[in-house]
């Protein structure tokens, strides 16, 4: 590469423009210059265009009064009293809520379907395969519109609400009884914390014991008793300090209880069902990646099918499953931005929709929205890389 001819002491003469080092630097300088020129030109045009349209720039709007309502708020928010900044946080929390719940539902559904596809039951495997093929090949937006317009909006109206136990379902949402804590409920919360801590201590102790003596402890039952049984016992002892606030039907609307918006439900259904199909494929690939010899070796050591799955197959499959699983989680979070199509007040709908329309500050608003998603993505990939390194170390 350096132009040296072996056997000769004199370096070969190379014209400077044929020298790879010179060329590489020249290319990079030219490329950087073009990019800088493009950015400069774009910025110049943006400044001109903004000045012509009399649009303010900067982030001053952040503290202005928002003046619009949001249908679902997890933190306190009023149209008159809250700022655009507050609206941003409301939207972000709504995004995180639907993404978090969606991830949980999609994971459960995806694992069930992925394992079903490998079932020895022919019918089950075929049905699971059909689910994956159909759901993966339909656009998510179409599925969301279907759930929202054709299913949830087609439910009966308020006066003919469907009553299920103490809950009501109509085309304006699902109304669930709301648990209200009475005095003495703090003790139950404390019990839950103590139980969880005790479960962790027991887990560490049981592990040490197994490493020392080889004896196993009934980990599952003890953990369940500590985390669920103990708080329940305290709950009963304290005289059940919890009451349910049931929703009541009025003439025009339903009051009380927890209201689940149809937009939220449609988005949650759509995202979970769609992502579950992809997770199912990831899970299937992961399980198939564990060679059959591993299972056979475990059987020949005398392990029963349950422990074989738990101790041999799943830990190895997880190593293959987790990286693509994380990218599916990221996809779900990014796809939650389709909320704007059905009017669920997520970050994009509130901020890139309403706030952008009211302020007209496109550059700032779109930049902030993108940075939020970018931050979520980059943080996740960072954690993923750390996890991968950890797994690589474990592979001796």
Partner 1 sequence: MTMAEGDLAVTEIAFLSRASIAPRPPPAKMSGAIGWLRANLLSTPFNIGLTILIVLLLAWAVPEVVKFLLIDAVWGGNDRNACLEYVQHREIGACWPFVWERLPYFIYGSYPISERWRVDVFFVMLATGIVWLLWLNAPRRDLGAIYFFAVLPISSFILLSGWSWIGLRPVDTVLWGGVLVTIVVASVGIVVSLPLGIILALGRRSHMPAVRLLSVIFIEFVRGVPLITVLFMAGVMLPLFVPEQLSPDKLVRALVGIAIFASAYMAEVVRAGLQAVPRGQYEGAMAVGLRYWQRMRLVILPQALRVTIPNIVNTYIGLFKDTTLVFIVGIFDLLRTIEVARIDPKWATPVTSTTGYAVAAIFYLIFCYGMSRYARAMEARLAKADRR
Q: Is 288 in the site for partner 1 (CB under 8 A)?
A: no
Check residue 45 for interaction with partner 1 (CB under 8 A).
yes
Q: Residue 361: phi, psi to the nearest 5? A: -90, 75
How many Cβ atoms from other residues are within 10 Å of residue 165's Cβ? 8
Query: Which residue from 227, 366, 384, 388 is in contact with partner 1, where contact means CB under 8 A?
Result: 366
CA 184-186-187 angle, 5° bins: 75
Does 335 help bind partner 1 (rule: CB under 8 A)?
yes
How many residues bind partner 1 (CB under 8 A)? The answer is 53
* 24 binds partner 1, rule: CB under 8 A: yes
Contact predicate 97/339, CB 8 Å? no
Q: How far is the CB of 281 from partner 1 (least distance, A)?
A: 11
Give the one residue of 200, 289, 378, 382 binding partner 1; rule: CB under 8 A: 378
Based on CB atoms, which residue is closest to partner 1, 244 or 374? 374
362 near partner 1, rule: CB under 8 A: yes
The least distance separating partner 1 from the CB of residue 248, rounded to whole angstroms, comes to 29
Q: Which is nearer to partner 1, 303 or 340 (CB)?
A: 340
Find the binder of partner 1 among 122, 390, 395, 396 (CB under 8 A).
122
Q: Is 51 in the site for partner 1 (CB under 8 A)?
A: no
User: Are 75 and 89 spatial neighbours (Cβ–Cβ below 8 Å)?
Assistant: yes
Output the six-digit token pair for 382.
């960072």
Measured from the CB atom, the residue of 34 and 311 that comes closer to partner 1 is: 34
Q: Determine, following the binding rule CB under 8 A, whether residue 320 of this chain makes contact with partner 1.
A: no
Can you give the chain as a three-state secondary structure string? CCCCCCCCCCCCCCCHHHCHHHHHHHHHHHHHHHHHHHHHHHHHHHHHHHHHHCCCCCCHHHHCECCCCCCCCCCCCCCCCCEHHHHHHHHHHHHHHHHHHHHHHHHHHHHHHHHHHCCCCHHHHHHHHHHHHHHHCCCHHHHHHHHHHHHHCCCCCHHHCEEECCEEEECCEEEECEEEECCCHHHHHHHHHHHHHHHHHHHHHHHHHHHHHCCCCCHHHHHHHHHHHHHHHHHHHCCCCEEEECCEECCCCEECCEEECHHHHHHHHHHHHHHHHHHHHHHHHHHHHCCHHHHHHHHHCCCCHHHHHHHHHHHHHHHHHHHHHHHHHHHHHHHHHHHHHHCCCCHHHHHHHHHHHHHCCHHHHHHHHHHHHHHHHHHHHHHHHHHHHHHHHHCC
Q: Is 150 in the site for partner 1 (CB under 8 A)?
A: yes
35 interacts with partner 1 by CB under 8 A:
yes
Smallest separation, CB 193 to partner 1 (Å): 36
Among residues 198 and 366, whose Cβ is nearest to partner 1? 366
- Binding track over 153-192 against partner 1, x by CB under 8 A: -x--------------------------------------
Binding residue for partner 1, selected from 36, 104, 118, 141, defined by CB under 8 A: 141
Nearer to partner 1, 137 or 300 (CB): 137
Residue 385 lies near partner 1 (rule: CB under 8 A): no
* Shortest Å, Cβ 121 to partner 1: 5
Of residues 140, 266, 290, 321, which one binds partner 1 by CB under 8 A? 140
Query: Token match 């953990």: residue?
Result: 223
Q: Which span (27-35, 156-164, 212-220, 262-270) binds partner 1, by CB under 8 A?
A: 27-35
Residues that bind partner 1 (CB under 8 A): 24, 27-28, 31-32, 35, 41-42, 45-46, 48-50, 52, 119-124, 127, 133-134, 136-142, 145-146, 149-150, 154, 334-335, 337-338, 340-341, 348, 352, 356, 362-363, 366, 369-370, 373-374, 377-378
């Amino acid at each position: 590469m350096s132009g040296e001819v072996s056997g000769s002491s004199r370096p070969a003469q190379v014209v400077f423009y044929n020298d790879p080092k010179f060329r590489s630097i020249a290319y990079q300088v030219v490329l950087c210059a073009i990019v800088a020129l493009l950015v400069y030109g774009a910025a110049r045009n943006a400044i001109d265009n903004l000045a012509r349209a009399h649009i303010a720039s900067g982030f001053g709007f952040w503290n202005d009064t928002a003046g619009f309502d949001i249908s679902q708020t997890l933190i306190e928010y009023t149209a008159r009293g809250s700022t655009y900044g507050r609206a941003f946080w409301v939207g972000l929390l709504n995004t995180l809520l639907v993404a978090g719940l969606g991830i949980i539902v999609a994971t459960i559904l995806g694992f069930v379907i992925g394992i079903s596809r490998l079932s020895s039951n022919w019918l089950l495997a075929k049905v699971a395969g059909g689910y994956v093929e159909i759901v993966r090949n339909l656009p998510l937006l179409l599925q969301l519109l279907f759930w929202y317009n054709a299913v949830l909006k087609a439910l009966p109206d308020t006066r003919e609400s469907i009553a299920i136990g103490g809950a009501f379902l109509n085309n304006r949402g699902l109304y669930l009884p709301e648990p209200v804590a009475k005095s003495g409920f703090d003790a139950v919360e404390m019990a839950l914390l103590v139980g969880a801590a005790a479960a962790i201590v027991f887990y560490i102790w049981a592990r040490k014991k197994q490493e020392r003596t080889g004896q196993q402890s009934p980990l599952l039952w003890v953990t369940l008793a500590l985390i669920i049984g103990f708080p329940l016992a305290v709950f009963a002892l304290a005289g059940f300090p919890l009451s349910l606030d049931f929703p009541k039907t009025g003439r025009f609307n339903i009051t009380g209880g927890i209201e689940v918006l149809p937009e939220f439900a449609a988005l949650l259904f759509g995202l979970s069902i769609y992502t579950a199909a992809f997770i199912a494929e990831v899970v299937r690939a992961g399980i198939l990646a564990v060679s059959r010899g591993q299972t056979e070796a475990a059987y020949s050591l005398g392990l029963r099918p349950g422990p074989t799955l738990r101790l041999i197959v799943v830990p190895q499959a997880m190593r293959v499953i987790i990286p693509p699983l994380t990218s599916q989680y990221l996809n779900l979070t990014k796809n939650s931005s389709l909320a704007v199509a059905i009017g669920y007040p997520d970050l994009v709908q509130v901020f890139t929709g309403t706030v952008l329309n009211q302020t007209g500050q496109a550059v700032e608003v779109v930049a902030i929205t993108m940075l939020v998603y970018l931050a979520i993505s980059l943080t996740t990939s960072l954690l993923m890389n750390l996890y991968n390194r950890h797994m690589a170390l474990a592979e001796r």
